[in-house]
Structure formats: structure tokens, C-alpha cells
Structure 1
Amino acid sequence: MNLSNTRNFCIIAHIDHGKSTLADRFLELTKTVEKRKMQEQFLDQMELERERGITIKLQPVRMCYRLLTIDNGQEQDYILNLIDTPGHVDFSYEVSRSLAAVEGAVLLVDASKGIQAQTLANLHLAQAQNLKIIPVINKIDLPNARTEEIKEELAFLLGIDSEDVLEVSAKNGTNIDKILEKIIKDVPPPVIDDKPSTDSRLRALIFDSVFDTYKGVIAFVRIFGGSVKRGDKIMASATGAKAEVIEAGFFAPALSATLELVAGNIGYIATGLKDPGQIRVGDTITNDPVSSSFHPLPGYKEPNPMVFASFFPENGEEYDLLKDALGKLKLTDASLSYEPESSAGLGRGFRLGFLGMLHVEIISERLKREFGLSLIISSPSVEYLVEMKNGEKIKIRSAAMLPDFSKINSIAEPIVALEILTPSAYMGNVMELVSSVRSIYNRTDYLGKGTVLLKYDVPLAEVITDFYDKLKSVSSGYASMGHELKEMRTDKLVRLDIFISGELVEPFSKILHEKNAYYEGRMMAAKLKETIPPQWFEVAIQAAIGGKIIARETIRARRKDVTGYLYGGDVTRKMKLLEKQKRGKKKMKEAGRVNLPQEVFLKMLKR
């Protein structure tokens, strides 16, 4: 088919604004999927996605659509390549991969909720790629829809006329055909390399990959130049991995082989490679051997984990199962990272790196469901940059990795640019909440009537725990937030340690700001007092910062009634027995060691 009749586009929006439902209507309207095979959230192939109503794994699809053209009054066939993208703040990396592969984006906004923080974040990503934006208001059928108000806000945000904003109901199928018509009319055909015709070198951008037992690593690609077919010799430019193409094809939405993929196409290349690390998202595939004039496609970054947590199997014998499970998840999730770790209290496990807290939840849920693992998961932390007095710089991801404080010059923590979108009625509550988490206020923007955009700089460590839940609470669920890494900034950070009977318990150690450490130390000591079972001797629980004890709790010794069998007679017999018990307890206290049961670790890791 003529390349001028191809359109590559994606859907971007905040979580739960109807992206997957709109994609379903596209599949129905273009008859891409038979009615008998159709199910809700068709492109969300994971059971977990359907259950939570969110998109986790990016799923492309190729659709054919026949449209009567106004120019000559004839029907023409168009190829529409859709990439449905995740909408949660944690998955903005997957959104960025999609945007690099397309020329247009449908910006979807819920008519009842309006523009939200992630809508803005995704819009900025799309505008940075110079994509054609098609604004659409969804869920106009809802009784609490604020369609006209949201139209004005969208028009103001994009600098367009409000009449250019489409009104649809993906649930009922209202006006869906108008979106497809606007995509064909406004989104430009695929941009291909403007090289001389003599240079037909393959340049294919990898925007995702999956692993297949028989076909090896399958790269999802957008062809920017040249062509690729079965039997071609190819190479990944970043890793230098070489392969022979086993199969090339389109997404229909199942993998469907074709003779050749050409410039402008979105499709897949089955490489036969058995090591997923050789095909990296954002890399460029080209012909082997590489020509001297070849330049990889620009502007792609590798995902940087922002949040770290330790995963330990409840049953220590399942360590190898956990290792295999993580290896399999890594095949389908390029942004997941992990490394082995061991703990005195919890045994062997792994330190995992994530894009955010929802990412942590999704991975832990998948490990439990798909692999049947029971896990102990530590409190989340961030990556710190430690500058030593000798000038050396070290990156650390847990308090256990922190060097001796006497040798440290400074500790820097990640700072994020936080954007909160809220109705103006809740502005005071939201500002009060943000002021409680070491934030620096930047500015306030007003978007249309009654909607406020607040901008702050906040340490990432303050945002990753329960900040989002508190934000929803103080705004009755209306406020939304987005954040992106801004810089590393030094601050008065300290290591909080917990000692039980004079012995350091490393899994409880934390890196905190000085002003929060005292409160956290007291709280942890009090919680441990309630959690640790009583021993035959007195147990001291101490919270310390750099050797200075800041909080202490004592668990009194269990008492055995050693005089219970005595009756009458000389009282000195009773006193002797009590004195003997006292000496025994003193001896036990000096030599005794508290073995913490696993339940204590589990309870302490829950907030």
C-alpha cells in the first residue's frame, strides 16, 4: 500500500481515562478483531491489567480502515498503526518509547475528571517529539460530565479553538469514527530517512521486545529507513549483537508474518537471539555489516530505576525460583533491574529497581500470581550519591551500603519536580500537605476555571511512600500528581540504626533527614516493643544516629514462678530461690541473643 495512506499514532492520557476502551472501539470499527473474539480491554493481555483496569504492558496493533475521501469522492484504504500506552506516572518510560515510533497522538481526557497531572506530563512528552495532537474528551455520557468546561480548558492548554476538541463516549461508541477521520486528515504520513535513494540501509528503532521460546528475542520496531525480510543479516548498534532474521511481520494484533517490512512500517523482527540483554529498547537495528555512514537513531534514553526494594522468599529454599522468575519478568519489562542481596534476618534475596511504587506493586503481584511465590518485601528507598572525604563518589541504594560516617563529606538525594493538579477549592489542603514533606514551592498556574497547577521541588524519598494516598485524601480524590527527576541535592541526611540487646539489626536501618530521624527512631522502637515476643531476660531496644542513642524501649523479662511449690516454712528459702533466679537472668542478659522471628520483620516492613 502507498505509504501516504499509512498513519502511525498512539493514545496518551492519565490512568483510567478510557484509553483501553477507546482502543477496543477502534478494533471493532475497523473489523480488526472478529466480534466473537472481542473482549473488554482487548490490548491489555495481562489478567492483572484487566483486574486493575490499567495498562501495564504496551501492545501495538495494525488496523485497516476504508474512508470516503472528500477530494475525489472515492473510497480509499488506510493502514492505521496504533500503540496503546500506559497512563500511570510510573510507566512514562513506556509512553516515551511509543512516542518515538509515531507521528500523532490522541490526547484523551475524562469528561468528569478533567485534565490531570499525567495528562500534562504525557502531553509535554508528545510535544517534545513534535507529534500532531488530537484532543478528545471521553465519557461524555456520564451524568457528572463537565464537557463544555473541559473543552475550554483543553483549548486554552493547546492554544486551539474549542470546536477542534472532539467529544466521544468510548463505552457507547459515540463519535469514534470522527477520531479515525481526524487521524487520517491531520496526522502526517510516516517520516522516513531523507537519504539519497542509493543508501537503502536499514534503520529500525526498537520500542519494545518480548522473548519467545522458539523465535528467541522478538524486537518491536518502527522502520525509519531501508527494509527488512526473513534471512537478512542484522545487527543491534549499541550491543553489537548479530543475528539472521527468522521472521518479520505486523501486529494483527497477534503476530502475523509478512514478506517484508519497509520504511514507515511498525512491526516486529524475530531475531532468534537467546539473550534478551542483546536487544535493548531504544537501540537501532541495521544491516550487517555496518556501513561507515551509519548513525543510530537519536534521542533515546535507557530507563533509570527511581525506587528500590528488597525481595526475599518467605521460604529460603525458593531463592532459585525467585531468581528464575525475575529473569523471566526482565524479558518483558526492560525497566526492571535486580541484583543479589543477603540479610542476616531474612536470608538470601534480591535488591530490585523500579520506576515507581505502582511498578513495585505490579511486579510483586506478578511474582505471587504467575510464579506462586510468597515474598517479604522491604520498605522502598531511593538511590543516594555519597561523596567521600577523599573525593570518591559512591552510589548507594540501601542504608546497609552506607560507608563509615566519619569518612563521608556529603550525601545527595534525588529531587523531583512535582506537579499537582487540583480543583482550587482544595488548594489550601494540598499546599498544607506538601509543606509537610521538605518541599520548595516554585509557582502556581491557573488552567481555566477552578483548576490549579502547583509546582514544587520535593525529595523523591518523601513522595514514594504514602504521599499519593494522602494527596487523594486531602482533596477528596480530585487532585492528581506527576513528577520527574530534576537533580541530586545535598542535605542533612543521617543513618538511623536499630540495636536489639546491643546488636545491630541491619534490615531495620534507614537513611533519613535529620529532622525526621528522631520521630522515626521513637516510632520504630515503640513498634518493636509491641512486636518482639518477651524473652527470659530483659531486652533493650535502642534507636541510634551515628553512635548517639535517640530512643530506647525495654521489654521486661518473662517471669517464671519459682516459688509456686513452696508453702509455709521459712521465708529465707523463698528469698534464696528468687535471688538465684535474679542471678540466672543477669547471666542470660549478658550472654543472651535475641533471635527475631520472621513475623517481626514482616510487621516492621508494613507501615
Structure 2
Amino acid sequence: MVYSGLYPADGTNMSELEHGIEKLTCNDSSVSVEIESSAALGRGFRCGFLGLLHMDVFHQRLAQEYGVNVHNTMPTVPYIFEFHDGSKVEMHMCTERYKDKKLKAIWEPMVIAKIILPSEYVGPVITLCAEREGEQLQFSFITSKKALLRYRLPLRQIVVDFNDILKSVTSGYAIFIYEEAEHQLSGLIKLDAILNNQKIDVMATIIHKSREESVGGSMMDMLKKFINRSLDNTISITEAISGRVVSTQR
């Protein structure tokens, strides 16, 4: 499952969104739905889908069949958050509900991926998998012109654009399949975007700690493009888990 928040947009009200989701889920029981609230976007729904294609089709049907337009948040995967009191909770983000608990570790879902491809594309695909924190398990040649790669990959690294990039670097010839693997203890942190000392909750993201500065900087650059420069806003990116400021700009 991948999860995304759906919030009313372009004149759509909450009751219209609720009606559209209710009608669609009557015919698609695989979608999980729960109400959530965002300080930035108001009331909405947290929905779970069977992949990005399923999510995109659901959004299109909301717009085409019920005239409902939505803002959706970045797709996330379910993590297991382990606290020092011994409790474990599966959720897509460490929410304010658990702010009084001291986080011990984050376990993330993994997959075992098989990629079958023409041998001339092996180099770029190995580079792609390494960039996505993949662990190579197998590299063999099926024939003189076709290779097989097996990788253990974090699910968070493949749910958004991995398949599109894979098809691009292999001219569409790669075959990509994967199956679930056990959760793995990872060096993950939660990054929050903060404007004038207020968290923008819908922009919170889970990343590996080795990427905190690059992702934080990219997030800040994106925010600055959409903020009115006549407003004297301080943009700061912080890690909610440790509270350490990664960078601050005006």
C-alpha cells in the first residue's frame, strides 16, 4: 500500500469529497480511508492505494465522475516506529499524537526486486539502484544479450518514479517485478518544513539521514519560489525527531 492525503481543492467542499470517495470505495474495497486533519489544508482523508497507478486512477475518477478536485500529498509507505517504552506503531508518519514518546528506531518496508534487461543497459541500472539505496543480491546473464539483476530496495525509493526512470534509462526494455520483504532497521529521520516557527505538516517527509542536507536544501528552494518576497518570512528546515536545524534562510 502507498498512502496519500486527499484534501478539497478548487471550490470542492468536504461533503462533496466525502460523497465521491464513498461512492468509489463501494466498488473498490481495496482503498483504505480514514479522516485526517492538516493545519495547512484543513480536513481531508488519508487514503491507501495499491500503488501509484491505482492512486492516479482514483483521482481521475473523482474528477471525471463526481466533479471533485483534490490536493494530494506526496505518496508515503507505512513505517514501523519503535519507541523506548517498547511499543511499536505502524503508520506513514510519526504524528503529534506520539510527540511525548521518545523514538528509538524506524523500521521501513523493503522489497526484493528482479530486473531483466538487455546487457548493454546494466551499467546505468546498477547506478540507478545504488542511488536508491539498493543492495545487490544477484547479477547474472540469462543469455549473451540479456541480464538478470536482483536487489533489496526500500519501498519508499520505488513508489514514486523508479519505474519511469528505469524505463527511460533502458529505452523501455527492462522488466521490473518485486515482492515484499521483511522490514529493515534504517537510519531514517523526519524532516519538517517550518515557516515563521509553524510546521507545514503536509510537507513533512521521511528520508535517510545521509540525505538530510540535500533534501532540506531542495525543500527550502522550492518553498522560496512560492513565497511572496514582500513578506519577511524566515524559512527553516528542521528535524522533528532531534530538533536540530538543518538550515535557515530569509
Q: What is the identity, as a one-letter code, of the residue corresponding to 1:512?
A: I
Query: Does the alignment pair 1:547 with 2:213?
Result: no
The higher-RCO structure (CA 8 Å, 6+ apart) is 2
Partner of 1:485: 180
Instruction: Tell me the amino acid that sits aligned with residue 379 of structure 1.
Output: M
Alignment TM-score, normalising by the size of structure 2? 0.93
Distance 2:136 2:88 in 1: 29
User: What is the aligned partner in structure 2 of residue 458 from structure 1?
Assistant: 153
Give the secondary structure class of the aligned counterpart of 1:498. Answer: strand
What displacement does 1:308 show?
Answer: 0.4
CA–CA distance in 2 between the matches of 1:364 and 1:449? 43
What amino acid maps onto 1:549 in structure 2? V
**Distance of 2:96 and 2:34 partners within structure 1:** 13
> What is the CA distance between 1:319 and its match in structure 2?
1.2
Equivalent positions of 1:406-555 (< 5 A) are: 407-536=102-231, 538-545=232-239, 546-554=242-250
SS of residue in 2 equivalent to 1:422: strand
**Cα deviation, residue 401, structure 1:** 5.5
Answer whether contact 2:12 2:68 (CA < 8 A) is retained.
no
**AA at the equivalent of 2:160:** T
Deviations 1:559-585 (A, max 9, x none): xxxxxxxxxxxxxxxxxxxxxxxxxxx
> What is the deviation of 1:480?
2.4
Deviation of the 1:495 alpha carbon: 0.8
Contact 1:368 1:374 in 2 (8 A): yes
State how 1:579-598 maps to structure 2 within 5 Å: none
**Superposition pairs for residues 304-315 of structure 1, below 5 Å?**
306-315=1-10
Q: Secondary structure at the match of 2:95?
A: helix
Q: Is the 8 Å Cα contact of residues 12 and 69 (structure 2) preserved in structure 1?
A: no
Give deviations 1:578-607, integer Å, cap 9, x for gaps: xxxxxxxxxxxxxxxxxxxxxxxxxxxxxx
Q: Distance in 2 between matches of 1:362 and 1:507?
A: 22
Q: Distance in 2 between matches of 1:350 and 1:443?
A: 41
- How far apart, CA to CA, are the structure 2 residues paired with 1:315 and 1:397? 27
Residue among 47, 52, 55 paired with 1:357:
52
CA distance in 1, matches of 2:173, 2:163: 12
Partners in 2 of 1:470 and 1:500 — Cα distance?
33
Asked if residue 319 in structure 1 is aligned to residue 22 in structure 2, the reply is no
Deviation of the 1:317 alpha carbon: 5.4
Look up the SS of the partner of 1:509 in the other structure: strand
**Identical columns (%):** 32
Alignment of 1:59-74 (within 5 A): none
Q: How does 1:226-305 map to 2 (within 5 A)?
A: none
> Is contact 2:32–2:48 with CA below 8 Å preserved after alignment?
yes
How many Å apart are 1:331 and its aligned residue? 2.0
Shift in alpha-carbon separation, 1:424–1:317, aligned structure 2, 3 A: closer
Which protein has the larger Cα radius of gyration, Structure 1 or Structure 2?
Answer: 1
Distance 1:409 1:356, change over 3 A: same
Q: SS of 1:508's equivalent? A: strand
- Give the match's secondary structure for 1:351: strand
Query: Structure 1: where are the runs of 5+ without partners?
Result: 1-305, 555-607
Query: What is the CA-CA distance between 1:315 and the residue it aligns to?
Result: 4.6
Q: 1:347 to 1:316 in 2, by over 3 A?
A: farther
CA shift, 1:449, in A, is 4.2
How far apart, CA to CA, are the structure 1 residues paired with 2:100 and 2:158? Answer: 26
The 3 A distance-change label for structure 1 pair 448 and 553 is same
Give 1:1-150 correspondences, 5 Å limit.
Answer: none
- Give the counterpart of 2:83 among 385, 388, 391: 388
Q: Alpha-carbon deviation of 1:406?
A: 6.3
Q: Deviations over 1:495-535 (max 9, x none)?
A: 10111112222111111110122211011111111111124
The DSSP-based 3-state class of the residue aligned with 1:505 is strand
Q: How far does residue 399 in structure 1 lie from its aligned partner after superposition?
A: 4.5
Distance (whole Å) between structure 1 residues aligned to residue 44 and residue 11 of structure 2: 9
The one-letter amino acid paired with 2:26 is L
Q: What are the superposed Cα offsets for residues 244-276 of structure 1, whole Å, 9 maximum, x if unpaired?
A: xxxxxxxxxxxxxxxxxxxxxxxxxxxxxxxxx
The CA distance in 1 between the partners of 2:16 and 2:158, in whole Å, is 32
Q: Per the alignment, in what secondary structure is the counterpart of residue 486 of structure 1?
A: strand
Structure 2 spans left out of the alignment, 5+ residues: none
Give the whole-Å Cα distance in 2 for the aligned partners of 1:484 and 1:397: 20
In 2, distance between residues paired with 1:350 and 1:502? 26
Give the Å deviation of 1:552: 1.9
Q: Which moved more, 1:452-461 or 1:310-319?
A: 310-319
Matched, 1:373 2:68: yes
**How much does 1:489 deviate?**
0.9
CA distance in 2, matches of 1:530, 1:463: 27
Answer whether contact 1:529 1:553 (CA < 8 A) is retained: no
* TM-score when normalising by structure 1: 0.40
